[in-house]
Chains A and B, each alone.
Chain A
Amino acid sequence: MRFVDEYRDPAAARLALADIEAVSARLVGPERPVLKFMEVCGGHTHTIYKHGIENVLPPTVELVHGPGCPVCVIPMGRVDDAIAVATTPGVIFTSFGDMMRVPGSGSNLLEAKAQGADVRMVYSPLDALRIATEHPEAQVVFFAVGFETTAPSTAVTLMKARARGIENFSVFCNHVTIVPPLKAILESPDLRLDGFLGPGHVSTVIGNHPYRFVPGVYAKPLVTAGFEPLDILSAIVMLCRQLDEGRCEVENQYTRAVPEEGNTRALAILAEVFELRPHFEWRGLGFISQSALKLGPAYAAFDAEERFSIPGVRVADPKACQCGEVLKGVIKPWECKVFGTACTPETPIGTCMVSSEGACAAYYNYGRFTRHQTVPVELSGARS
């Protein structure tokens, strides 16, 4: 594939890895035996496992998987709310496929569907709007999740719905913002990180300026990175160089997509449609103030939370589940008590095990064999 294969070139990867190995070797010692970098974004986690990047990194560098999977941070109570709306008579409930198997306290959307709720998988909020125009007799609700990456498409859909007067459409909004949880993680006392891979997709919208507090207040370097394997390696090289040269700043590896100022049009649309919630509960991280979006006054008529009676009951995370520690990078997925036994992708207890971007699911699906056991590539000459 053009414009993709270039970023998956093994020769270039070897050069980057040699760089990482050489520079990181100078930085580690008895005080700091391994450099720990957190990739904030679930998309990065997915790339890292899909391409086996952890297996090619030198032992001096370790990647910690952060909270940036929008599915993984949705608390159980919100899933229960979604199921309550979905099972309301006359409702067509639309959702991204990822959310279908996320467990609420009793069931999930897939099970609600099997028991008669009209739950449909869509690939875009505009698909949900189209369903609303095709079914004027039904109430069509879109389950909006995601960071600033997907919020603009929800916003545009809402603007269209209002402009066209599509009154049977509404949005159950669970959009969240990236900076508050990043702050929460940096405030966490049990944290030991040497730098961050900044979220590339979110940054295409919000730009790089919002991350200045990471080096400024918390003295950690941050490099915004793209989603191809070489992007990840290049960003790690840039982080190592910053540490090596005694610099600590926000840098942009993903310049082909991330403008410094972000996407001003998208930001304007977000400001028009949404407003900040005073607080929002994050799975495993608890309540974080001003960390999520709700529909602003001009769009309140399209807010599913206004239109339907939502239980809004807070459900405590299951005791056995250590999603919070995983999301903060305090423990590795396999260190969780229930990882791979009681909690698997088929029967997830925690959200990290559901989405392919979740740290646990990625590790379980892709990385679940011993890291020091390498399997060299050697095929017969029969291949042409």
Chain B
Amino acid sequence: MTAAERPGDGAAAGGGAPPDLEEALEGRAGLEREDAVLDRIERWRRHRPKLREDFVNSAHGAGGKASAALIDAVFLEAFRNPTLEAMADGAVLPLPSGDRLAFSTDSFVVKPLRFPGGSIGHLAIHGTVNDLAMMGAVPQWLSTGFIIEDGFPVAELRDIVADMHDAADAAGVTVVTGDTKVVNKGAADGVYINTAGIGLVPAGVDLRPATVRPGDKVLVSGHVGDHGVSVMLARGDLALEAEIPSDTAPLNRLVADLLAAAPHTRFLRDPTRGGLATVCNELARDAEVAVVLDEAAIPVRNVVNGACEILGIDPYYVANEGKLVAVVPAGEADAALTAMRATPVGADAAVIGEIRADPPRIVILNTRFGGNRIVDMLVGDPLPRIC
């Protein structure tokens, strides 16, 4: 049934009222009709996304709705269990001793393998360290698996592994086991790396979207969009003569300082693939709240903004590899900010928004210009293979 066919509308517009009153009623009916349509869409959006495609395409790897559909239909369907269903950055597992173990894995297929500010080796360590840190865990041990293309230079492999060693050292974690496979030329693009990691979650840490409350503040630990734009420019197919260093960095120390300063921190996530916008959408969806962001408060470097403007993409959807989004109670926001700014990786931290009750499951951006708009889940992949 179309909005126009709904019985109530016809009654409002067609009652033989004088023309100006009719106009006014029509105007109001218009708004009500729009509301009805928006309600219908909201109900529709609450359905889990469905996997419609018969073949995997690049959108399924982009971290947006298509990824969610694939994970739901294939992986969750097969492995279904309460731990996996939490769909967090990793699993938190209770041990018989009462301690909680955090366990996470991540694979890296970035192209090019080396970019300003880092390499696939740095990413492979930081990615898993940060996933563990976002669960509130103290990362300790990592595994790594290499898939190497036939003919890959050993010298280059050594350099990548040296980067991994340095990154692990800096983050205070140890690589304790690994695996190596070589595939035919063309079956992989140079080298792909997988890492998995475990760490312990300190007692008292409770980071879950369900703990988020209206009035809480949203913080980000620094400039957003650096990593994705850095890799895209390093790939050289944009003919833009700018160089932006990636922000790839371990966040475990920042998290430790943050949790000490703001012990009631509700939620942490690193905005990697899909960027700040995707993290805020996941938060709004899982906590059933509105996330209201202030455009003027979100730190974005001029050069990142400029590159995004030229490419027609939104920096809020661009990946970061050394940033986190935190939700803390309003009363702890100042302490959290001070603690973050005192660390080298959080020097440009900012309060960028707050949690509201309404409208639930939606991210709203108050624009610098004085208007506001929705920031929705990403569809498709503007910058593929950036991690």
Query: CB within 8 Å of B: which residues of A?
Result: 1, 4, 8, 10, 13-14, 30, 33, 49-56, 97, 100-101, 110-111, 113-115, 122-124, 127, 229, 332, 334-335, 337, 339-341, 344-347, 356, 364-375, 377, 379-380, 382-384
Contact = CB atoms under 8 A, between A and B. Distances in A.
B309 A4 contact: yes
Given A97-B382, A368-B38, A373-B359, A49 B373 contact: yes
A123 B238 contact: yes
B159 interface: no
A110 B4 CA distance: 36
A335 B3 contact: yes
A69 to B, nearest CB: 13
Given A123-B238, A346-B65, A375 B366 contact: yes
Across the A-B interface, the 8 shortest Cβ-Cβ residue pairs: A52-B371, A340-B41, A114-B57, A366-B373, A114-B55, A345-B379, A382-B351, A377-B366
Interface in B6-62: 19-20, 23, 27, 31, 33-35, 37-38, 40-41, 44, 49, 52-53, 55-59
Interface string B234-253: 00011100000000000000
Interface string B344-387: 00000011111010010010111111111110100110100000
Nearest to B334: A382
B302 interface: yes
A53 B373 CA distance: 9
Nearest to B331: A380
A346 B368 contact: no
Contacts of B353: 379
A13 B362 contact: no
Interface residues on B, range: 35 or more
A52 B372 contact: yes
The B interface is mostly helix, strand or loop, or mixed, namely mixed
B332 to A, nearest CB: 10
B279 interface: no
10 contacts: A30-B19, A30-B20, A111-B55, A114-B55, A115-B55, A123-B237, A127-B237, A371-B34, A379-B351, A383-B351
B287 to A, nearest CB: 18
A124 B239 CA distance: 10
A371 B373 CA distance: 10
Contacts of B2: 337
Contact of A379 (B4, B297, B370): B297
B212 interface: no
Given A97-B382, A113-B57, A8 B368 contact: yes
Contacts of A100: 380
B102 to A, nearest CB: 29
Given A51-B369, A375-B292, A380 B217 contact: yes
A159 to B, nearest CB: 19
Given A368-B374, A369-B374, A380-B330, 16 more contacts: A52-B370, A53-B371, A55-B373, A56-B370, A111-B55, A114-B57, A115-B55, A369-B359, A369-B362, A370-B34, A371-B34, A375-B366, A377-B294, A380-B217, A380-B333, A383-B350
Contacts of B365: 52
A380 B354 contact: yes
A286 B4 CA distance: 25
B312 A356 contact: yes
B364 A51 contact: no
Contacts of B334: 380, 382
Interface centre among B238, B354, B376 (most CB of A within 10 A): B376
B140 interface: no
A365 B374 contact: yes
B57 A229 contact: no
B38 A346 contact: no
A268 to B, nearest CB: 25
Nearest to B26: A33
A150 to B, nearest CB: 13
A115 B128 CA distance: 32
A34 to B, nearest CB: 8
A1 B306 contact: yes
Nearest to B310: A123
Nearest to B64: A346
B84 interface: no
Nearest to A122: B237
B337 interface: yes
Contacts of A14: 370
Given A334-B38, A368-B374, A379-B354, A52 B294 contact: no
A101 B380 contact: yes
B311 interface: yes
Contacts of A335: 3-4, 33, 37
A374 B330 CA distance: 22
A110 B20 CA distance: 51
A340 B65 contact: no
Nearest to A110: B57
Given A341-B44, A346-B66, A56 B38 contact: no
Interface string B207-247: 00000000001000000000000000000011100000000
B376 to A, nearest CB: 5
